[in-house]
């Protein structure tokens, strides 16, 4: 995770990986047939650990589905801080490099990102139904959350120091505002 997030997938060599993990090359290739397989496993591990992390987060307790959705965004914003390597996404980083060269990695990263999106769909569906939002779907909005998150990481990488985290947080603020308006405005309209 550490090496891929700071150097990218292809610039990270198997030798570096082994040195960082305190493992010999023989052991590495005993467990993974190729470097590509490690990439797939990394995406799957990332997927499993993040989905577990978000499932245990506190924002699920809100009664109002809109509060749950905004709570998720607030939670994501609170996670952003320090150097980019500390909050960026392994799947997003890998798929950018490997989408054409490795179908297996592409699919694993797709599963990670879309799986993360899927965890929001139920709350978004409730929010849409309750506030009578039209013209979009919970699936599309869930993807938009991921879009803004991934995009904020790209822009964060153009900065150095604290500016990275500040920029990423600022951008999630716009996502929050969009959802706030989308569900808030629809509510007012609904009450007329």
State the residues that interact with a second copy by CB under 8 A: 6-8, 10-11, 84-85, 92-93, 95-101, 103, 106, 109-110, 113-114, 135-136, 140-141, 143-144, 146-152, 154-155, 157-160, 167, 170-171, 174, 177-178, 181-182, 185
97 contacts DNA (rule: CB under 7 A): no
Retrieve residue 136's tokens: 């979009």
Nearer to a second copy by Cβ, of 65 and 171: the residue is 171
Residue ranges of alpha helices (H) inside the chain are 2-7, 14-21, 25-31, 35-55, 65-79, 90-98, 103-131, 138-157, 162-191
Q: Which does 49 bind (CB under 5 to 8 A by kind): a second copy, DNA, none?
A: none
Stretch in the footprint of DNA (CB under 7 A) among 20-28, 118-126, 171-179, 183-191: 20-28
Contact status, residue 172 vs residue 148, Cβ threshold 8 Å:
yes
Q: Which does 66 bind (CB under 5 to 8 A by kind): a second copy, DNA, none?
A: none
Q: In sequence order, which residues have a C-beta less than 8 Å from that of residue 149 and are 6 or more positions away?
A: 76, 89, 172, 175
Is residue 101 helix, strand or coil?
Answer: coil
User: Cβ 30 to DNA, closest distance in Å?
Assistant: 4
């Amino acid at each position: 995770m550490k090496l891929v997030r700071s150097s990218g997938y292809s610039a990270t060599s198997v030798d570096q990986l082994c040195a960082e993990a305190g493992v010999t090359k023989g052991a590495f290739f005993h467990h993974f047939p190729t470097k590509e397989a490690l990439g797939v496993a990394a995406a799957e591990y990332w997927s499993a650990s993040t989905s577990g992390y978000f499932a245990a987060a506190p924002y699920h307790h809100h009664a109002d589905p809109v509060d749950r959705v905004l709570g998720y965004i607030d939670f994501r914003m609170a996670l952003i801080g320090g150097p980019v390597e500390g909050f960026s996404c392994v799947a997003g980083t890998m798929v950018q490099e490997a989408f054409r060269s490795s179908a297996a990695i592409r699919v694993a990263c797709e599963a990670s990102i879309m799986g993360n999106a899927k965890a929001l769909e139920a709350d978004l569906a409730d929010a849409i139904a309750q506030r009578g939002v039209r013209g979009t779907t919970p699936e599309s909005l869930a993807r938009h959350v991921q879009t803004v998150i991934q995009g904020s990481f790209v822009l964060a990488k153009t900065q150095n120091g604290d500016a990275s985290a500040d920029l990423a947080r600022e951008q999630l603020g716009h996502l929050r505002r969009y959802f706030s308006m989308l569900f808030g405005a629809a509510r007012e309209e609904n009450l007329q």
